[in-house]
Amino acid sequence: MAEDRIASIAQLVRDGGRSFSFEFFPPKDEAGEEQLWRAISALEPYRPTFVSVTYGAGGSSRDTTVRVTSRIARETSMTPMAHLTCVGHTRAELESILDSYAAAGIHNVMALRGDPADGPRAPWKATPGGLTYATELVELARARGDFTVGVAAFPEGHPTAESLDHDADVLVAKARAGAEFAVTQMFFRASDYFALVDRVRARGIDIPVLPGIMPILNLNAIRRQGELIGCEVPADIVARISAHEGDPAAVRAEGIALAAELCEELLAGGAPGLHFYTLNRSKATLEIFAALNMAV
Ligand SMILES: Cc1cc2nc3c(=O)[nH]c(=O)nc-3n(C[C@H](O)[C@H](O)[C@H](O)COP(=O)(O)OP(=O)(O)OC[C@H]3O[C@@H](n4cnc5c(N)ncnc54)[C@H](O)[C@@H]3O)c2cc1C
């Protein structure tokens, strides 16, 4: 049975430890479910600090988040964290989902606003009786149960933030509301991450900020996603990957090498760990681990 709480990441960092974690999404069908559990089994021996499961935009994927996260709590040695968003939910519904997390032994919640149905850059429309900002969900989760709460951070700024300073103010507000750590959106320049951490520290907040790592295995897909969420793939990275165009194995190897270089730079610069976007597969994450000489 898993420990049911993320041992304080702040404490882990103070003690000189580093946090390694893996993120999954709710699978859509049986084949996806099998692929997810293969990835979970392959990654479990690496003894991550926690594993997280994202919360869908709507429909059945939301129940799948609860189901998969509960099964991780029940059947693996890993500590699960369930994501939750404000999209389409009243406060009472959010309370009821938090209660079902707690009943399933899930005591770690990633509190997010979520994106509007029309996409990350569309204006936010609050659900009647619902919440407007992630800060409110952080407060709700902290008040509702004994949850350890994580929040989102944006090294290049959230796409609708007024400025990088305002973006940092928002992260600080989430920490003051009770968030114990943050995980970043994908990014490709370590300098963007360190600048975000500096902005937050300059505001007197020492919340650990875990960098979110997404290897580029398909340049066009990552660039499209990056445009939506406000994350640029720098020209030198595009050039290094494009140099292998037509050779999928070489493109993949370069994407893994680039991710490993980013991880090394982040850890050398004092990042408190790494959070891997696995896309429900273990291979790329394990290849990065091998490049970093991280064994089981
Ligand atoms: C690590 C990570 C995990 C994620 N997981 C999921 C997931 O599981 N499911 C999902 O649907 N989405 C997920 N997302 C996407 C996320 O929901 C979107 O990026 C969303 O647009 C912002 O969420 P937030 O929690 O940062 O919102 P908020 O912190 O509420 O910020 C939203 C916007 O409002 C602004 N803002 C915040 N507070 C204030 C204020 N007081 N006054 C004025 N403006 C304010 C912010 O600058 C920002 O522009 C994830 C993102 C990250 C980085």
- The 3-state DSSP class for residue 118 equals coil
> Which of 125, 133, 274 is the best mutation target for the ligand 1 pocket, counting ligand atoms within 8 Å of the beta carbon and taking the most?
133
Rg over alpha carbons for the chain, rounded to the nearest Å, is 18
Q: Phi-psi region for residue 47, left (φ > 0), alpha (ψ -120 to 50) or beta?
A: left
Q: How far apart are CA 198 and CA 181, in angstroms?
A: 15
Q: Report residue 257 as tokens.
A: 């090498």
Amino acid at 72: I
- Kindly report the average pLDDT of the chain as a whole number: 94
Atom 17 (ligand 1) nearest CA: 114
What is the average pLDDT across 81-107? Answer: 95
Catalytic residue among 3, 23, 75, 232: 23
What is the average pLDDT across 43-56? Answer: 95
Instruction: Tell me the CA distances in angstroms from 287 to 100, 217, 251, 282, one per residue in order.
Output: 36, 12, 14, 9
Read off φ and ψ for residue 148, nearest 5 degrees.
-90, 130
Predicted local confidence at residue 3, as pLDDT:
53
Question: 86 pLDDT exceeds 90?
Answer: yes
- The 3-state DSSP class for residue 274 equals strand
Closest CA to 233 of 184, 183, 285, 187: 187
What's the CA-to-centroid distance between 178 and ligand 1, angstroms? 16
Instruction: Tell me the CA distances in angstroms from 66 to 13, 70, 99, 149, 250, one per residue in order.
Output: 29, 6, 11, 16, 38
Atom 29 (ligand 1) nearest CA: 134
Closest ligand 1 atom number to CA of residue 275: 1
Beta bridge partners of 274: 20
Closest ligand 1 atom number to CA of residue 115: 21
Predicted local confidence at residue 1, as pLDDT:
43
What's the CA-to-centroid distance between 261 and ligand 1, angstroms? 28
Predicted local confidence at residue 11, as pLDDT:
76
Atom 28 (ligand 1) nearest CA: 134
Q: Which residues contact 196 (CB under 8 A, 6 or more apart)?
A: 153, 154, 155, 164, 167, 168, 171, 184, 209
pLDDT band at 60 (very low <50, low <70, confident <90, very high): confident
What's the CA-to-centroid distance between 236 and ligand 1, angstroms? 29
What is the average pLDDT across 91-111? Answer: 95
- Show the beta-strand stretches assigned E in 90-163: 108-112, 148-153
Atom 21 (ligand 1) nearest CA: 115
* Ligand 1 binding residues, C-beta < 6 A: 54-55, 57, 83, 85, 110, 112-115, 120, 133-135, 152, 158, 160-161, 166-167, 170, 183-185, 212
- The 3-state DSSP class for residue 37 equals helix
Q: Which 8-state DSSP code applies to residue 113?
A: -
Question: 14 pLDDT exceeds 60?
Answer: yes
What is the average pLDDT across 255-283? Answer: 97
What is the average pLDDT across 253-276? Answer: 97
Question: 296 pLDDT exceeds 90?
Answer: no
Predicted local confidence at residue 7, as pLDDT:
67
What's the CA-to-centroid distance between 8 and ligand 1, angstroms? 23
> Which of 106, 139, 158 is the best mutation target for the ligand 1 pocket, counting ligand atoms within 8 Å of the beta carbon and taking the most?
158
What is the average pLDDT across 185-194? Answer: 98
Q: Is the pTM of this model over 0.85?
A: yes
Length of the chain: 296
For the chain, the farthest-separated pair of C-alpha atoms sits apart, in whole angstroms, at 54
**Residue 152 near residue 110, CB atoms below 8 Å:** yes
| H or E element, residue 80 | strand 80-85
What's the CA-to-centroid distance between 277 and ligand 1, angstroms? 17
Q: How far apart are CA 56 and CA 59, in angstroms?
A: 8
Closest ligand 1 atom number to CA of residue 132: 30
pLDDT band at 9 (very low <50, low <70, confident <90, very high): confident
Percent of the chain whose predicted confidence (pLDDT) is above 90: 87
Q: How far apart are CA 79 and CA 72, in angstroms?
A: 8
Q: How far apart are CA 77 and CA 233, in angstroms?
A: 36
What's the CA-to-centroid distance between 161 and ligand 1, angstroms? 10
Answer yes or no: 254 catalytic. Answer: no
